[in-house]
Amino acid sequence: MRLLPAYSIVLFIILLFGSVFVFSKPQVFAQTQQQIEQERSQKQRELEKIRKDISSIASSNASLTTKLTALRAEKSKMQKLLDSMSQDVKIMEAEAKKQEEELIAIANTYSLQQALYTIESQKNILVTLFESPTLSNVLDRFLYYNVQSQSMKQQQELIELKLEAIESKRKYIAQEEQLIQKSLSEVTGQIASLEDQQARVALELAKNYAQRNSLVADISKLSRAAQAIINSKTTGGSSSSGNSTGSGTGGGASGGTNTNTSGAISIIIDGTVFKKTNAVVRVSAANDEIVLKGSRTTEFAGVLEFNKSSGMYAINELSMDKYLWGLAEMPSSWPAEALRVQAIAGRSYATYKMRYGGYGKFDIYDSTQDQEYVGLGKVKSSFGNQWKDAVTSTTHKVMEYGGKTILAIYSSDAAGHTLASNESPSFGGTLAYLSAKQDRYLEGGVWKNYGNSNCGYWIIQGNLNPFPWCGVTRRSEGINTLARMEDYLNGAIYYQLYGKMVTTGELSPTALKNHLTSKNQSIINKVGTITDIRHEYDHGGNQIVQNTKFTKSIIVTGTTGSVTLSGPAFRVSYNVRAPYKNAVYSTLFDIKKVDMNNWELWTRGFGHRVGMSQHGAYGRALAGQTHEQILKHYYNNANVVQYNVGRNIRVGLTKVGSRVMEVSAGSEMSIYEGGTLIKKVSPSSIIKIEYN
């Protein structure tokens, strides 16, 4: 889950394609060259089918994306139309109000004219003649009142017609608004449905990629095994099962086979073979603390399982809370509320895997492919009781959205703004509860993030240490000179042109420059001699504001012009072409000019930045927020609920398993074959498990 620095680039590729370790298929226990060829042929057929499935699913995903884009455009168009109609209604309401006021004024004037005319018309003709100096004046007075009355009646009728027209148009707009609102509601529903389909397709695609990668690994191992047999026949040598431990990445196939055991598991107690079996072997300790020594030594709670059909050398089965005791995803010294956030997020992620994911014989990996799991060492180290208390105090608490446990993804530091799941290259699918979240507060006129300020913004250029977390270390060889910056910019141009990147081994800086120059596309072609390079964020400008999410562009100025390049393209180029361990670890980064021959690159944040920010949770806990407040901030509209999956979790051990392993404990151990107890072993004994 949390992308540790030393593995970030590898993990990026693993998350993008849903890869699994080579353990994700059962180990090869082939006996003869003929059997190996048959199995390899079968797996090759399976591989071709998986590739076709991937192509079909990818096509379906592309179709869904096209439909979503069209629907979102239609939704935006309808929303703009509604806004325009609303504005029209406001204008008509103002016009109607004005006309009504004029109508009232005319009506009042008309009433007055009518009264005066009535008075005049009722007078005795002799009186009227007496009051008027001339007969013409008498006629003028009667004519004036009559004409005025007719004129005002016409104006009144005209205004009433205008009001009727306005009301008619308003009713028409209201009807149109209802129809558009209905259509908008339907489109919104269609978008939600397609987003759900896209999420399911993304998971299916990841599953198929995992199967593809596993089959490729198996075919490779089978090929090595076949070659080993040929080599053995040629040299006349003999193979041995061997006793050394290994990393578990190869398996026993390439080291020959043991025809007497048919790929069985050997159980050796204190140096003496106790039993060889093809069944599942399980070992537990009376005090629930058991040590496994393989490629490294680790202490676990629960049961250790050795199952050659699982694709793993060892599986640790234990209760959910004891699994979480070993979750090494956040320092145990951090504030209690931050630890509770991590416990609930970790439990939610694991529960999601148990309910909807998993890898066949086990639920979850012990590495950052899923979550970093280190066994009992976590709670037995400094501040371990604080982490244990966080797990215990949140027992059975998980996050749910729409009645389902969420895939509670998190990363180390979101740099003040998380990304939506579809904004990160590590995921691509849209999950409503993994939306982009602002994670900054204003202090002294400056927007600061809730993450650790000493670790949320750090230099990554020219490091003595491969992946420093905090602080600045550099060596002169690592400085980004102008020549190097030109190469990174040329790499970004190459990436934008061809949609792929080349290493310096494939195209040296000179070769890359010459290639682009021949097409009039090099950075020198575009700007002449470089005078300035600066970054620009997604909102525009190079200053952090509340909603800054990523570095959108690199603006290069030169003696003959300027050009704007893609920020993500520059990041890809830098990560591939920069020397030593230099890399940009976040999509939000800065370029700082020290002088023309020294350019520093600084990264803001660390990891994929989707879901909960661990350093953000740390800062929010220090600010007094509760774990539920923090979780609801990062996981949009998800709720903390009580849920018990009802069984133990099964963890595939990639970091400790090997072909030969030793099991020990400080209490009596029990060995099971299948589900049957076959041996009780004293605490002073050593149990050796060997895959033949």
What digits encode the pLDDT tens for the residues 530-571? Answer: 999 999 999 889 998 999 999 999 999 999 999 999 999 999
- Give me the percent of the chain exceeding a pLDDT of 90: 43
Over residues 312-329, mean pLDDT: 97
Shortest CA distance to 327 belongs to which of 404, 416, 408?
408
Position 547 scores a pLDDT of 92
Distances (CA, A) of 325 to 35, 218, 376, 407: 44, 34, 7, 20
| 281 C-beta neighbours (distance < 10 Å), count | 22
The length of the chain in residues reads 692
Over residues 271-275, mean pLDDT: 95
* pLDDT over 60 at 177, yes or no: yes
Position 368 scores a pLDDT of 84
Task: Assign 246 a pLDDT band (cuts: 50, 70, 90).
Answer: very low
Q: How many angstroms from the chain centroid is the CA of residue 494?
A: 27
Over residues 352-366, mean pLDDT: 92
Q: How far apart are CA 209 and CA 382, in angstroms?
A: 40
* pLDDT over 50 at 304, yes or no: yes
Burial grade of 207 (CB within 10 A; 0-12, 13-18, 19 or more) = middle
Task: Assign 529 a pLDDT band (cuts: 50, 70, 90).
Answer: very high
**Highest averaged pLDDT of the listed ranges 165-179, 285-299, 449-463:** 285-299
* pLDDT over 50 at 104, yes or no: yes
* pLDDT over 60 at 189, yes or no: yes
Over residues 195-216, mean pLDDT: 70
Task: Assign 139 a pLDDT band (cuts: 50, 70, 90).
Answer: low
Of residues 280 and 56, more confidently modeled: 280
Q: What is the pLDDT of residues 429-451, one digit of tens each?
A: 789 999 999 998 888 888 888 87
Of the listed ranges 198-212, 375-389, 459-473, the one predicted with least confidence = 459-473
Query: What residue has token string 């060829």?
Result: 37
Per DSSP, the residues of 535-568 read EEETTSSSS--TT---EEEEEEEESS-EEEEEHH
Q: What domains are defined for the chain?
A: 33-234 (1.10.287.2610), 258-314+653-692 (no CATH), 318-446+611-646 (no CATH), 457-604 (no CATH)
Mean pLDDT of the chain: 79
Q: How far apart are CA 322 and CA 651, in angstroms?
A: 12
Shortest CA distance to 223 belongs to which of 24, 21, 43?
43
**Highest averaged pLDDT of the listed ranges 240-254, 262-276, 445-459:** 262-276
Phi, psi dihedral angles at 621 (to 5 degrees) = -65, -40
* pLDDT over 50 at 646, yes or no: yes
Task: Assign 35 a pLDDT band (cuts: 50, 70, 90).
Answer: low
Q: How far apart are CA 54 and CA 628, in angstroms?
A: 39
Position 225 scores a pLDDT of 53
Position 262 scores a pLDDT of 44
Task: Assign 113 a pLDDT band (cuts: 50, 70, 90).
Answer: low
Q: What is the pLDDT of residues 488-525, one digit of tens each?
A: 999 999 999 998 888 898 999 999 999 999 999 999 99
* pLDDT over 60 at 347, yes or no: yes
Task: Assign 576 a pLDDT band (cuts: 50, 70, 90).
Answer: confident
The tokens describing 505, both together, are 């081994």
Distances (CA, A) of 316 to 319, 396, 649: 10, 20, 8
Where on the phi/psi map is residue 528: left (φ > 0), alpha (ψ -120 to 50), or beta? left
Yes or no: say if 261 and 692 are a contact pair by the CB < 8 Å rule.
Answer: yes
Task: Assign 459 a pLDDT band (cuts: 50, 70, 90).
Answer: very low
Q: What is the pLDDT of residues 399-418, one digit of tens each?
A: 999 999 999 999 988 888 99
